[in-house]
Amino acid sequence: MPARLWTKGARAIAIAVCLAVPCVGHAQLFKCFDEKGRITYSDSPCISAVPPRPGPGAVGKISREQALAFMASFDKALARVDFDRVVEHFADDALIQVQVKSQRSGGSGSIGKAEFRRLLREAKDSFWDYRLQRNIVEVRLTSDGSQVEVQSDLTEWWKDPGGAMTVKSKETYTIEMRVGRPRATALHVVTRDPEPQVMPQR
């Protein structure tokens, strides 16, 4: 694939969250950000400026139906490219982890909510005609009702200066009830390079 297709903006939509965690090479390196936004690399997962988890009183019970409604709201915001609303779906202590499987420059990385918001805003104007389709694969509720894990397959299409692109990812969301509202406390994404693709018919 021409290098021009693998832009920061392309990654922003291609992986939904992967723009926030650029690929760092074939070795399993993790790109991290400290509380001052400085970049470090590690061979083990890292947490970047993520606040501590709230006390037990701030976490309530959540149902399968509430988790599915959360996912529908998340996808609605993503489809509108309303990145501020997308980020609102995450808890302040959320950890976002992305693994990119690539023949060129695969890698993994972890970031927190603040860095995720900044990178999404930077990439917003670099693509257009964005569409998505999510297939919920599995919904698992913990025995104590404190968390729901949602596994899904996500396909995304968009246009950028390199042309029409598509990518498929596997995403796992951990969702909790925080102060009466469902919030994602963790997101794990496994994805690949975007590929040229004709946009589907509307």
pLDDT of residue 162: 83
In a domain, 202, yes or no: no
> Which helix (H) or strand (E) segment is 171 a member of?
strand 163-178
Q: What is the pLDDT of residue 55?
A: 54
Tell me if 120 is assigned to some domain. Answer: yes
Give the pLDDT confidence score for residue 64 in this predicted structure: 96
Question: Using CA atoms, how far apart are residues 41 and 159, in angstroms rounded to an integer?
Answer: 32
Alpha carbon 189 to its chain centroid, in Å, reads: 6
Total domain count, the chain: 1
Q: Is residue 179 part of a domain?
A: yes
pLDDT value of residue 178: 92
Supply the pLDDT for residue 37: 52
* Position 35 in a domain: yes
pLDDT beneath 50, residues of the chain: 1-16, 18-27, 48-49, 199
Per-residue pLDDT, 9: 37
In a domain, 132, yes or no: yes
Q: Tokens at residue 189, please?
A: 């994404």
Q: Read off the pTM.
A: 0.75
Among 62, 24, 55, residue whose Cα is nearest residue 40:
24
- Position 26 in a domain: yes
By DSSP bridging, strand 163-178 and strand 181-192 are antiparallel
What pLDDT, on a 0 to 100 scale, did the predictor assign at position 4?
A: 34
123: domain CATH number? 3.10.450.50
| Tens digit of each residue's pLDDT (9 = 90 or more) over 108-132 | 778 888 888 888 888 888 888 999 9
Q: Which domain holds residue 76?
A: 3-196
201 inside domain: no
